[in-house]
Structure 1
């Protein structure tokens, strides 16, 4: 394995990037962290803005290329390590539903929960990317009720993305703690990979807070 085959994850603890780190752990992928102290504003400095002009994590580097956008990163990484079994193959009938629910996260869920959290008036249903908040959430509830995972009995990278998202948004009261969402999130947060990353994040976040305060 060459240095280019290793994945560089531009990272800050207790952010969306944690989900990508959990996925890398689940995949057994070789990776290195390039840690940014967001409490010190390192994500807004020229060095990182030259890599991702939006100053956002997660961002990954692999084989000389940069990949941004959480949904793209999840698809890319899961496809890169098919032997881990977290992505349906291109000729798998479940490939379409898998892509549907991953894309739904970025296209519908995130804009809806941000509008909801900010108490912004949503666009008219005919112009909104997510119809309306309740409809968007109801579609997820109906799909997860078939469980235990989005694609039934099979866990995929989509479940890591969504399980962590539900855990995070329910913690802050953005998404209601319905039983189906709670049980689903627990299936992911009880896994060893999530527990390892959470413990490491707590230690790293404490170090960043101390450094920023000093």
Structure 2
């Protein structure tokens, strides 16, 4: 019997990344929707994620949090989906998956909060500067269909989600390399399924709680 897979999320969150990954995997999963002000901070959920944030998954009784970790975990847990390179070929896979989850997201968040490190602070900050992080990310995907090797992997789910989101909301500049990389990803069947599910959930939430 397959181990139970439970997905905790809110459709207006980074849970959209994990949803896409789950749809790529193709294994059955149960979705449990959480609200920011109540159930996300409830005692039973804090056992799963003490940060009180989404997404999280529980697979066979084991919890995994953090989007990049969820993507990497699911690729390994469901090898039949072919979403991870062979172990000997995972250098770029790990490098760009966690570079985007670390320095890139940190740099974007800092900019959003109005923090711009000076020259001395850039030596201490893992991301250095937003410009450096984005230039490095652009170099990783320029003239490439996939960020790690010659086929789609879980790293593309995470990197693609960050670029897709950033282009949509203006937190990543509309550079030609970013557009060229993400446009084909938006055509993937799993991406479209995931977006349709979350967009429907968002519409339902908005209808139930009109402004």
Matched with 2:154 is: 157
Matched with 1:81 is: 78
Give 1:140 shift: 1.2
Q: 98, 121, 124: which one pairs with 2:93?
A: 98
Point out where structure 1 has 5 or more consecutive residues left out of the alignment: none
User: Are the equivalent residues in 2 in contact too, given 1:188–1:194 (CA < 8 A)?
Assistant: yes
Matched with 2:195 is: 198
Give 1:152 shift: 4.1
TM-score by length of 1: 0.90
Matched with 2:11 is: 13
1:110 and 2:102 matched? no
1:70 and 2:67 matched? yes
- Residue 123 of structure 2 aligns to a residue in which SS? coil
- Residue 171 of structure 1 aligns to a residue in which SS? helix
1:128 and 2:114 matched? no
User: Are the equivalent residues in 1 in contact too, given 2:68–2:101 (CA < 8 A)?
Assistant: yes
TM-score by length of 2: 0.92
Give 1:212 shift: 3.8
1:53 and 2:46 matched? no
User: Are the equivalent residues in 2 in contact too, given 1:59–1:69 (CA < 8 A)?
Assistant: yes
> Any idea what the Cα deviations from partners look like across 1:9-51, whole Å, max 9, x if unmatched?
101113211111111111112211111133x643123332232
1:170 and 2:167 matched? yes
- Residue 168 of structure 1 aligns to a residue in which SS? helix
- Residue 151 of structure 2 aligns to a residue in which SS? coil
